[in-house]
Amino acid sequence: MQQFLDQTIIELKIRNYSSKTIKSYLGALSSYFTFKKIDFGRPDVVNIQNYLLAMHDRHASPQTSNLHLNAIKFFYREIIKSGVPINFKFAKRSQKLPAVLTRDEVLKIISSVENAKHKIMLSLSYGAGLRVSEAVSLRVKDIHLAELTIHLKEAKGKKDRLTIFPEKLKRDIQNLMAGKSGDDFVFASERGGRLTERTAQKVFENALKKSRINKEATFHSLRHSFATHLLENGTDVRYVQELLGHANIRTTQIYTHVTNPAIRNIKSPL
């Protein structure tokens, strides 16, 4: 089993998959191999089907089931070079609306943070639509204050993209970056180096609790709110797609359901 996992690691690294994806694929394959028990290198469609059914019975999310199916397909197609077709359809993902904060709620959350660096981090993540991974990986050289843009390098999917920099934060970010070199992290930890994603998420969680906002919001809700508020301001959905770095316009269009003014203007008959 370990031999096959090692081969998979090498192939994923050669193809420049992210460390997060590699870890997820290995976890999925380890789980599948444990289920299969023997003959890991021989694809068995019935066995794969039973594995997916077992995941369903354990109430695994559609996203998790699809990840495991992707990993299994990758293993047999790219590592084993098997010609056996694995034609299972991916699980239908639930179409949940994202947790979006109002402008007042965003300001209330940010205002509840006392640490200046953390306050700027949350403000910038909302004002530029950053993922938590992008916020903690942001380097001084990525911010272009003259053009009011941020160049995010190798973001999700190993893609570069440009997003906007909120002019309101210009002085604060200049003070924060003073004395730092271009390769330094903007939001470095107190011990130096990169702030962890979990630390950033904890900053948001504490701020949400302190502000007493009763919503199931996460750090990513700042990004959801950024997109929704841009659409409310009349920004074209295709520009929002570009700022968020979505490959498919349908991913961005989910926010049009959140901000639908026609629904908000309908009055209940009660």
CATH number at residue 227: 1.10.443.10
Residues 37, 123 within the same domain: no
Tens digits of per-residue pLDDT, 85-113? Answer: 888 887 776 667 788 999 999 999 999 99
Q: Is 25 a catalytic residue?
A: no
Question: Which of 68, 118, 119, 131 is an active site residue?
Answer: 131
Give pLDDT, residue 127: 96
Average confidence (pLDDT) over 58-71: 90
Query: Do the Cβ atoms of 76 and 43 come closer than 8 Å?
Result: yes
Give pLDDT, residue 73: 93
Structural domain count, the chain: 2
Q: Is the pLDDT of residue 168 over 90?
A: yes
Instruction: Answer whether residue 86 is part of any domain.
Output: no
Report the DSSP beta bridge partners of residue 162.
Answer: 151
Q: Is 229 a catalytic residue?
A: no
Residues 113, 68 within the same domain: no
Average confidence (pLDDT) over 131-158: 89
Give pLDDT, residue 263: 63
Query: Do the Cβ atoms of 71 and 28 come closer than 8 Å?
Result: yes
Q: Is 51 a catalytic residue?
A: no
Q: Is the pLDDT of residue 266 over 70?
A: no
Amino acid letter, 196: T
pTM value surpassing 0.75: no
Give pLDDT, residue 132: 95
Q: Is 220 a catalytic residue?
A: yes
Residue 157 pLDDT level (bands cut at 50, 70, 90): low
Give pLDDT, residue 262: 61
Instruction: Answer whether residue 87 is part of any domain.
Output: no
Return the SS3 of 262: helix
Give pLDDT, residue 222: 96
Residues 111, 231 within the same domain: yes
Question: Which of 139, 223, 224, 229 is an active site residue?
Answer: 223
For residue 109, which of 100, 122, 121, 96 has the smallest C-alpha distance? Answer: 122
Q: Is the pLDDT of residue 202 over 70?
A: yes
Question: Which of 68, 119, 229, 246 is an active site residue?
Answer: 246
Average confidence (pLDDT) over 48-77: 91
Q: Is the pLDDT of residue 191 over 90?
A: no
Question: Which of 156, 171, 238, 267 is an active site residue?
Answer: 156
Separation of alpha carbons 270 and 261, rounded Å: 20
* Residue range of the domain that includes 214: 103-264
Residues 27, 158 within the same domain: no
For residue 144, which of 159, 118, 164, 117 has the smallest C-alpha distance? Answer: 164
Q: Is the pLDDT of residue 265 over 70?
A: no
Separation of alpha carbons 10 and 179, rounded Å: 40
Q: DSSP of 60-106, one letter per residue?
A: --HHHHHHHHHHHHHIIIIIS-------PPPPPPP-PPP----HHHH
Q: Is 131 a catalytic residue?
A: yes
Residues 151, 251 within the same domain: yes
Instruction: Answer whether residue 96 is part of any domain.
Output: no
